[in-house]
Amino acid sequence: MSQQIVPLYRPPDLAEDLTTTEDTLKHALLTYEEMIGKKFELAIFLTATDIFRNLEWIKEGVEKMKNNPKLESVFSGHATHKNFWEQQEDGSWKRVKDWMADYSSRQVRRHIIREDTGLMCISRAWLWREGRRIGDNVDVITNHDDFTGIDIHHEEDLKLANKAIAIRLET
């Protein structure tokens, strides 16, 4: 049997339920850069629980970052025509965006983007060193694939993902 090498382990204080992704990314980048004696310009974040990514998004994101030094991050985002509401401190509800009060056909309606950095997020490595996942000057690679909303965290999510994979294999 061959021996596998794990370049680094997350310390126990970064393996808690409420540990942020930003803290783990910072630790991983700083530790790995120190191990190999090299600093990276770009850092790519992909989660194992978001499986319906298009590999072309990664290539496109890297190219966008290379071609535009002002960009701090490029990530995947899902376009939706759905309305979103936020509960206020007084218990009342308010639309996230005022334009959502104008209902129209979904085919022509304005969209809002759901950030899906787990599918694909490329950032300048200095952001991660600062403990930030994404910057303020961003570009979004928009997708319309409803399967990208499947994020595997529970057994039911896994069953749903397996059904979705079976559907994809049919087409």
Model confidence pLDDT, tens digit, residues 51-65: 999 999 999 999 999
On whether the CB atoms of residues 120 and 53 are closer than 8 A, the answer is yes
- Give the separation between CA 46 and CA 155, rounded to whole angstroms: 21
Sign of CA dihedral 57, 62, 68, 71: positive
On whether the CB atoms of residues 10 and 24 are closer than 8 A, the answer is yes
Nearest to 148 by CA among 24, 17, 51, 29: 51
What tens digit of pLDDT does each residue of 75-124 get? 999 999 999 999 999 999 999 999 999 888 888 889 999 999 999 999 99
pTM of the predicted structure, to 2 decimals: 0.87
Residue 20 tokens, joined: 């942020």
| DSSP result, 21-86 | HHHHHHHHHHHHHHHHT---SEEEE--TTB----HHHHHHHHHHHHH-TT--EEEEEEEE----EE
Domain extents in the chain: 12-170
Q: According to CATH, what is the number of the domain 12-170?
A: 3.90.550.10
Write down the number of H helices and E strands in the chain.
4, 7
Which residues are paired to 133 by β-bridges?
none
Reported as a pLDDT band with limits 50, 70 and 90, residue 160 is very high
pLDDT at 8: 80
CB hemisphere CA count around 69 (13 angstroms): 1
pLDDT at 155: 97
